[in-house]
Amino acid sequence: MKMADVNEEKNALLAQLSEEVVNCHSCPLSLTRNKVVFGEGNPYAPLVFVGEGPGQNEDATGRPFVGRAGALLDECMREHGITRNHVYICNVLKCRACIVENTRIRNRPPQLEELEACRDWLHRQLTIIKPLVIVCLGGPAANSLIHKDFKMLMERGKWFDSSPYCRYIAAALHPAYILRQHGEAFDKLRQSLIDDIGAARLKVIQAKREAPMELF
């Protein structure tokens, strides 16, 4: 199959899948969401970022990483000349997980049943995209895609080559976590995200050298 045909097929399959996800009612998050956040970017990209799940801005717009965490991610990608056109970005959860606390709605970590309910969507999405490299942003993505006992402090930046979805996969700190730090700690962790994105860029180059593109 020619590359142009492969790309057209990917687009069609992703559009079809997105249609299904938008109508998903597999867990209670569908009752409180405003918009499903399927994912977006370049579906032919060799590099995919997988985050945790939509926050307030993403839930309002239906787009991934459009709030402060997204701005930090964009900034760190830009350090390597990478823009959203070069990558695909999605999340483990497609709907916002939140709780009401003193009349305020705030994000909360995803629960196991919610991750389970969403698992097949991510599986199908990544199977269609078939990137060379995946970077998990934060613990929930690393637990879902690398291994269930992933420990960010010990395993961040380590490359795994056993993923069914790509040639190489690693995890980086979630930009929202970095934003909660101050002063030197913030600078240090921001730099760690820049470094991890740089390492992912080099992994893409390595993977392209190692295997003919038609294998992906």
| Site residues (vs ligand URA, CB under 6 A) | 37, 51-55, 58, 64-65, 69-70, 91, 176
Report, in Å, the least distance between residue 51 CB and ligand URA.
3
DSSP string, the chain: --HHHHHHHHHHHHHHHHHHHHT--SSTHHHH-SS----EE-TT-SEEEEES---HHHHHHS-SS-SHHHHHHHHHHHTTT--GGGEEEEES-SS--EEEETTEEEE-PPPHHHHHHHHHHHHHHHHHH--SEEEEESHHHHHHHT-TT--HHHHTT--B---SS-SEEEEE--HHHHHT--HHHHHHHHHHHHHHHHHHHHHHHHHHHHS-GGG-
Q: Nearest to ligand URA by Cβ — which residue?
A: 51
* Residue with Cβ nearer ligand URA (119 or 208): 119
Report, in Å, the least distance between residue 42 CB and ligand URA.
16
* Residue with Cβ nearer ligand URA (3 or 71): 71
Report, in Å, the least distance between residue 63 CB and ligand URA.
8
* Residue with Cβ nearer ligand URA (52 or 196): 52
* Residue with Cβ nearer ligand URA (91 or 166): 91
* Residue with Cβ nearer ligand URA (68 or 211): 68
Report, in Å, the least distance between residue 18 CB and ligand URA.
15
Report, in Å, the least distance between residue 65 CB and ligand URA.
4
